[in-house]
Amino acid sequence: MNKTTQRILNNSTLVLFAIVLLTFSILSHHFFSFQNFFNILVQASSLAIIATGMTFVLLTAGIDLSVGSIMFLAGVISGKLVVAGFPLWMACTLVLVIGVLFGLINGAFIFKAKVIPFIVTLATFYVGRGLGLFISETRAVNLPESFLKIGSTKFFGVPAPIIVMTIVIIAGHLVLTKTIFGKHLYAVGHDEVKSRKAGIPVDGLLLKVYIICGFCAALGGLVAIAQLGAISPTFGLQSEFMAIAASVLGGTSLFGGRGSIFPGTLIGVLLIQSIQNGLVMVNADPYLYTVITGGVIFLIVLIDSIRHLQQKKLKRLGIN
Amino acid sequence: MTKLVGLLLVLCSCKDIKDKTTIGISFETLQTEYWVASIDALKASCEEYDLVYLEAVANGDANRQFEQVNNFISRGVDGIVIAPKDAHTIIPIIKAANRAGIPIAIYNRLPAENPGEYVTVVADNYEISLNTVRHLGRLARKKGKKHKAMILIGDLGDMNAINRRNGFNDAVAEFSDIIEVVAEVPTEWNQEKALAGVTNALQANPDINFIFTCSDFLFPSIISALKNADKYHKIGHPDHVILGGFDGDAMAYRMLKEEYLDADGVQDVYFECESAVEALLDRINGKEVDELIVDPGFVIHQGNLEEKSASMWGSKY
Amino acid sequence: MLLELKQIQKSFGEVNVLKGVGFKLDKGELLGLVGENGAGKSTLMNILGGIFPPSSGEMRVNGKNYHPKSPNDALNEGISFIHQELNLFLNLSVAENLFISNYPRKKTMGFSFLNQKQARKKALELLSQVGLSVSPKSPVERLTAAQRQMLEIAKALSASPRIIIFDEPTTSLTRHEAQKLFQLIKKLKQEGIAMIYISHNLDDIMHLADRIAVLRDGELISSGERQNYTIPSMVKDMVGRDMDQFFPHRNTVPLKEFSLEVKNLGAGFIQNMSFSIRKQEILGFYGLVGAGRSEMARLIYGLDPMETGSIIWNGKEITSPNPVQWIKEGVAFLTENRQEEGLMTLQNLEKNIQLAALPSFTRRFNIIDYKEVKKKSKTQADATKTKYHSITDQLVSTLSGGNQQKVVLAKWLLIHPKLFILDEPTKGIDIGAKHEIYVLANSLVECGSSIMLISSEIEELLGLCDRILVVSEGQITKEFEKEEFDRSKILEAALHKAGKEEQKL
């Protein structure tokens, strides 16, 4: 195994991303344009924000399945309020509060009651969606123009969703790489018992992580709603899986302790969105979409497992 | 939550169950407006015939649905109306109902094979979307110029979504001289994917001026994308994009009223529900009934809005 | 007096683990703490390190009462604990590991950020103190076992401790690496740091300690100046009886016939290995860690695919070796890493013991004769002198290292192996258990089996083997017959080729 192949393996997502960009640029002259890259970024913004929160959770070897439900419930409540005449800022704040509350509930159950994250967040997944459907009476909530305006506002020519996404990613990246909280996060993800021995406040940390994830889910939902103009009863369905897929594509390990938001998760999100965008650009057969998305995930997982096998081998040889 | 409400309703309706004819209503899900409208219409039909009903919602779980139907059977209902999870999981349910000698009507989905005695009520998805798109095609021909078309298709694992797409394709083929399909956007019935897909398609083909969606609930996404591209205008405006949809929901009704939407294929929920209940009653009373009741649906457009709006379920919400 | 422990008692429920133990430790002094597993060494050190409190007794640091409630309290009093299982985060960098509990910080715009510049400076200082030349930025997973050990010490030093507790620090080190560690320990001693050193390696204790304390069954059996001890006297105190003969005498000699012949075996960096083993023979393999001994065993057993060569078993060629076939042929392999490869630690003893032999207990219609297999597993568990309280209700994870190893042995003995490949069978286990394993190996050979013994403990090989092969860089470089056994020559043969590699570290 020479160095170049090793490097390609280590940056498989980035390489794949480059290949995808190149392929679509050749296939469609519409793809490689400034405007279209802007489009991809706008479309990626919601997922990127949610996936940022998810990355925090995955790094601690946890999982949050309630993300899509948080988006939906928070959206429905704020939407209903705005329709009822409440001011926009109040609704938006409330959305974020609901996100934080959900995170608090998830986190509290996980570290107080010691229930595994999968079960806790599966429960809140059902509760959130159920409440949302109940409140909306399973009808689309159509939002006033003012909501859509936030989505299409531009600052210095940059659409608001891109700005929000950038802030979230930079903040997330800084927290992970430049703060002691971030370092502790990786430590806890690697080994919780060792972390406790090292005096890391594991419980408080887990609570914070799920709050961050809930907040990001609500914010990501808000960004999506501001573009959609309506919340249908299926809004946010399977968003958690998209977020997990994006994080994992970006190199975050489901076993915790490994991964990054920048470039990792961001690349993962952009890869997914670019493929979706490119397929529409070349007017691909609809049946191809799922095949290609599945293929990409398969490829990444394959590369990942090859990489792991090699590391294991190196370890056995005592080189590592 | 819906399950809870369902449970409560079941409990509440326990008392007067013995003397009146009782119908069990089992729905796979209540996650879209269409299903909610359907179950409301079914209940209305039951009330009309002075029937007692039990309802249960399986929340997308085929197994749970099977159990719920078994519960109906052991509770001794006289008939069952079911909106099944899919074409395959309905088969053991039909068999169970047949064994118990309870008539069963299947709403909105055709079973994959014929396992026994039942009545199916389905909308002709193919026919309705064919007619809707034909109407749109005639509008395009009237305008005279060439049209570039886009279709938003649903989940490719859903037979109804496939039939609607086929209806669109066959109708467009009749107008191949003036309509060219330049974008097929798969949405997997997901709003965000639809928004991204439409935006991307408009990016690739800025001259798209003909859009058909296989479900009305995707209209907000389409409108949002069109607005961003400054292409959302009323009928009659020179840059108006011909719009068509399928379902007949509240959003579509409003868009028709506000003269943004050209035509909408409507499943006649009232006809379907009433037929289902009537067929069940006939069976219960020992009469012969057709095995398959097809709802031909109808196309609602600017020309027949007044006359048809009463049968469009979305106008009630 | 820097540290004084008096009458420390600890009981878990009904079990008295420590029955009034005390010792003293002065500045710059090293106390060697020895005892068999379960003697109470770890419990005593955990109490000192603040992991749990004693049931009774008193501790004084510099004459003041000392009641740690957490590892942090211990740290604040200047007591650092280096566990046998290092508390390192492999996914983090050297600097991040060093300062995981107290990273240097700085304030920027009201936010508290890591001060990477200062961390780097402090890290380099600490690393140079322990003589470790790695970048503070390099991930710990790239470090060798020895480097990790040094890093753990550097981490301990970052809290400027007065006392450092070492728990078996050399188990994962080569001899050469251990020597480096000893130099560092001596240097720290000169700087006035007191140390408590726990080890099964009595040579090391004799080499390093100023004073020695021996624990047995929760009691302090003896303590005093090193000069008053010899290895046999320590062993006697630890075990409670004279070790009549540490390496048991064997009453048979190897037969002429071969049981296993390996010719030109190769794959990866293993090249051209040829050797054969006789019936009733113990063939030893000596070499440095990473020389290729374990890899060779894995190839033979079919855990990794071989590329060249042939394997002949009792006269017939085995073309594509695999564990299933070997088990059928009566060949067992005790792997180096019992936790990961040989044991299901979250299962009870019985299930672990039955694992390999289960197929041979099937009767008609593939039904397993559970009565029989239960009886036999119990027999083997007792034959290996495994200490347990319930064979069906006790999880293997609750056993000590030595007893876990005996469970693995019992598992393989249940298939009545004709050839037993033992890879580091006594690594990290106490002296009593070691002796029992030697006796077991000996009687196995006397009953007609052969043994391939891979070990890094030269004494063990000298004491047990009929022949020793030296492996270096994936090749067999030298062979010693029993008459030629010579400690320094064997060591030299192993180091010979690897000399340049070692220098790089």
- pLDDT, one tens digit per residue, over C269-303 is 888 899 999 999 999 999 877 788 888 999 999 98
Q: What is the distance between the terminal CA atoms of chain A, rounded to a whole angstrom? A: 15
When comparing pLDDT for C38 and B136, which is higher?
B136
Tokens of B57: 């919602």
Q: Which residues of B touch A35 (CB under 8 A)?
A: 203
Q: Give C456 or B195, the one with higher predicted confidence.
A: B195
CA distance C378 to C396: 14
Across the range B36-59, mean pLDDT stands at 90
Is A46 close to B223, i.e. CB distance below 8 A?
no
Stretch A103-113: mean pLDDT, rounded? 90
Neighbors of chain A with 3 or more C-beta pairs under 8 Å: B, C
Q: What would the pLDDT profile of A265-282 be if each residue is shown by its tens digit? A: 999 999 989 998 999 888
Q: Per-residue pLDDT for C17 more than 50?
A: yes
User: The pTM is what?
Assistant: 0.77
Contacts of B106 (CB under 8 A, 6+ apart): B82, B83, B84, B90, B94, B118, B119, B120, B121
Assign A127 a pLDDT band (cuts: 50, 70, 90).
Answer: very high
Neighbours of chain B (3+ CB pairs under 8 A): A
Q: What is the mean pLDDT of chain A?
A: 88
Measured between CB atoms, does B258 come within 8 Å of chain A? no
Q: pLDDT at position C502, please? A: 42
Indicate if ipTM > 0.90: no
- Cβ-nearest to A194 among C75, C87, C113: C87
Disruptive mutation site among C52, C86, C100 for chain A (greatest number of A CBs within 10 Å): C100
Question: In this complex, which of A179, A183, A189 lies closest to C100 when CB atoms are compared?
Answer: A183
The verdict on C168 touching A (C-beta cutoff 8 Å) is no
Q: Report the alpha-carbon distance of residue B213 to residue B199 in Å, rounded.
A: 14
Its sign, for the CA torsion C375, C376, C380, C383, is positive
Evaluate if residue C121 carries a pLDDT over 90. yes
Torsion of CA C145, C148, C152, C158, to 10 degrees: 160
Tell me the C-alpha distance between B213 and B219, whole Å: 8
Q: Which residue of C has its CA nearest to A191?
A: C89
Which residues in chain B have their CB less than 8 angstroms from residue A36's CB? 200, 203
User: Per-residue pLDDT averaged across B288-294, rounded?
Assistant: 87
User: Cβ separation of A198 and C92 shorter than 8 Å?
Assistant: no
Among the residue ranges A110-119, A163-172, C354-363, the one predicted with the least confidence is C354-363
> Are the Cβ atoms of C87 and A257 closer than 8 angstroms?
no
Edge to edge, the sheet with strand C30-34 lists C79-82, C163-167, C194-198, C30-34, C211-216, C219-225
Q: Which residues of B touch A39 (CB under 8 A)?
A: 199-200, 203
Task: Indicate the pLDDT class of residue C241, thresholds 50, 70 and 90.
Answer: low
For chain A, strand residue ranges (E) read 141-142, 154-155, 158-159, 230-231
Indicate if the pLDDT at residue B8 is higher than 60: no
Cα–Cα distance, A216 to A226 (Å, whole number)? 15
The stretch A155-164 carries a mean pLDDT of: 91
Identify the DSSP state of A166. H
Q: What are phi and psi of C414, to 5 degrees?
A: -65, -25
- In chain C, the percentage of residues whose pLDDT exceeds 70 is 96
- Segment among A23-27, A147-151, C416-420 with least mean pLDDT: A147-151
For residue A12, is pLDDT > 70?
yes
Give the best residue of C91, C106, C151, C454 to mutate against chain A (max A CB count within 10 A). Answer: C91
* Beta bridge mates, C32: C197, C212
Stretch C149-157: mean pLDDT, rounded? Answer: 90
Closest in A179, A190, A316 to C89, CB measured = A190
Q: Which of C469, C106, C89, C386 is nearest to A192 (CA)?
A: C89
| Rounded Cα distance, C7 and C24, in Å | 12
Does C touch B (3+ CB pairs < 8 Å)? no
Q: Which token pair is B56?
A: 């249960």
**CA dist list (Å): C211 to C217, C226, C316:** 20, 5, 57
Q: Alpha helices of C293-366 — where are they, by DSSP H?
A: 293-301, 323-329, 349-354
Contact between A216 and A99 under an 8 Å Cβ cutoff? The reply is yes
* Tokens matching residue B103: 């008539």
Q: Which residues of A touch C83 (CB under 8 A)?
A: 197
Touching subunits for chain C (3+ Cβ pairs under 8 A): A
- Say whether residue B227 is in contact with chain A using an 8 A CB cutoff: yes
Q: What pLDDT, on a 0 to 100 scale, did the predictor assign at position C59?
A: 93
pLDDT-based confidence at C341, cuts 50/70/90? Answer: low
Chain A residues with beta carbon closer than 8 angstroms to that of C98: none
> Taking chain C, what is the end-to-end CA distance rounded to the nearest angstrom?
38
Q: Which of C89, C114, C269 sits opposite A186 (nearest CB)?
A: C89
Selected residue of A280, A287, A290, A293 to mutate for chain B interface (largest B Cβ count, 10 A)? A280
Determine contact, residues A125/A240, Cβ cutoff 8 Å.
yes
Instruction: Centre a 10 Å sphere on the Cβ of residue A66 and count the other Cβ atoms it contains.
Output: 29
What are the Cα distances from residue C498, in Å, to A156, C264, C285, C303? 64, 22, 16, 26
Q: Mind telling me how many Å the CA of A119 is from chain B's nearest CA?
A: 18
Cβ neighbourhood burial of C315 (10 Å; 0-12, 13-18, 19+) = exposed
- The pLDDT-based confidence of C388 (bands split at 50, 70, 90) is confident
What interhelical angle do C401-413 and C370-383 show, nearest 10?
Answer: 130
Chains B and A touch (3+ CB pairs under 8 A): yes
DSSP H/E element including A21: helix A12-27
pLDDT in tens, C194-207: 999 998 888 889 99
What pLDDT does residue B256 have?
95
Please compute the mean of the pLDDT values over residues A192-199 and round it to a whole number.
85
C113 touches chain A (CB under 8 A): yes
Nearest to A194 among C75, C89, C141 (CB): C89
pLDDT value of position A145: 83
More confident residue, A317 or C493: C493
From the list A229, A234, A290, the residue facing B224 with the nearest CB is A229
> Taking residues A223-247, what's their average pLDDT?
89
The reply to whether B304 touches chain A by the CB within 8 Å rule is no
In terms of CA atoms, which chain A residue is nearest residue C102? A180
pLDDT digits (tens, 9 = 90+) for B188-236: 888 889 999 999 999 999 999 999 999 998 999 999 999 988 999 999 9
Cβ distance of C111 and A189 shorter than 8 Å: no
Q: What angle do CA C245, C246, C248 make, to 5 degrees?
A: 70
Chain C nearest CA to A318, separation (Å):
5
The residue-averaged pLDDT of B31-59 equals 89
Q: In this structure, which amino acid lies at residue A231?
A: I
Smallest CA–CA distance from B202 into chain A, residue: A281
Residue with more model confidence, B17 or B272: B272
Q: What is the pLDDT of residue C369?
A: 79
Closest approach of C269 to chain A, Cα-based (Å): 9
Q: How far is B61 from chain A (nearest CA, A)?
A: 13
- Structure confidence at residue C505 (pLDDT): 37
Task: Determine the residue of chain A that is closest to B199 in CA distance.
Answer: A39
Q: Which of C88, C89, C151 to mutate to test the interface with A (most CBs of A within 10 A)?
A: C89
Distance (Å, rounded) from C-alpha B31 to C-alpha C313? 67
Give me the residue from C83, C114, C290 closest to A180, CB to CB: C114
Which residues does chain C have within 8 Å of residue A258's beta carbon, measured at their own beta carbons? 91
Tell me the three state secondary structure of residue C313. strand
Would you mind telling me the total number of residues written for chain C in this entry? Answer: 505
Candidates B35, B203, B227: best to mutate against A (most CBs of A within 10 A) is B203
Question: Can you give the pLDDT at residue C422?
Answer: 92
Which of A306-315, B28-37, B180-189 shows the lowest mean pLDDT across its residues? A306-315
Residue B62: which residues within 8 A CB-CB, separation 6 or more?
B28, B84, B85, B86, B89
Residues of A in contact with B249 (CB under 8 A): 140
Contacts of A318 in chain C (CB under 8 A): 144, 289-290
What average pLDDT is seen over chain B? Answer: 88
Q: Is there a contact between B220 and A230 if contact means CB atoms under 8 Å apart?
A: yes
Using pLDDT thresholds of 50, 70 and 90, give the confidence band for residue A319: very low
pLDDT: which is higher, C398 or B73: B73
Contacts of A228 in chain B (CB under 8 A): 191-192, 195, 220-221, 224
Average pLDDT over residues C175-200: 90
Nearest-CA distance A243 → chain C (Å): 23
DSSP, collapsed to helix, strand or coil, labels residue C242 as: coil
Report DSSP state, residue A82: H
Enumerate the β-bridge partners of residue B138: none
- The token pair that represents B1 in the structure block: 């939550």
CA distance C22 to C213: 10
Mean pLDDT confidence for C84-111: 87
Residues 6 or more apart whose CB falls under 8 angstroms from that of A320 comprise A311, A314, C141, C142
- Chain A within 8 Å of B199 (Cβ-Cβ)? yes
The structure tokens listed for A269 are 């999100």
Instruction: Assign B3 a pLDDT band (cuts: 50, 70, 90).
Output: low
Highest mean pLDDT pick, A132-136, B112-116, C194-198, C245-249: C194-198
Minimal C-alpha gap between C116 and chain A (Å): 8
Average of per-residue pLDDT across B176-183 = 93
CB-based contacts of C298: which residues, under 8 Å, 6+ apart? C304
Alpha carbon of C401: minimum distance to chain A alpha carbons (Å): 20
Task: With CB atoms and an 8 Å threshold, state whether B220 touches A130.
Answer: no
What is the structure's pLDDT at C172?
A: 75
Does B30 sit within 8 Å of A133, measured CB to CB?
A: yes
C294 touches chain A (CB under 8 A): yes
CB A286 to CB B193 under 8 A? no
A-chain CB neighbours of B208 within 8 Å are none
Q: To the nearest 10°, report the CA torsion of A146, A152, A157, A160.
A: 90
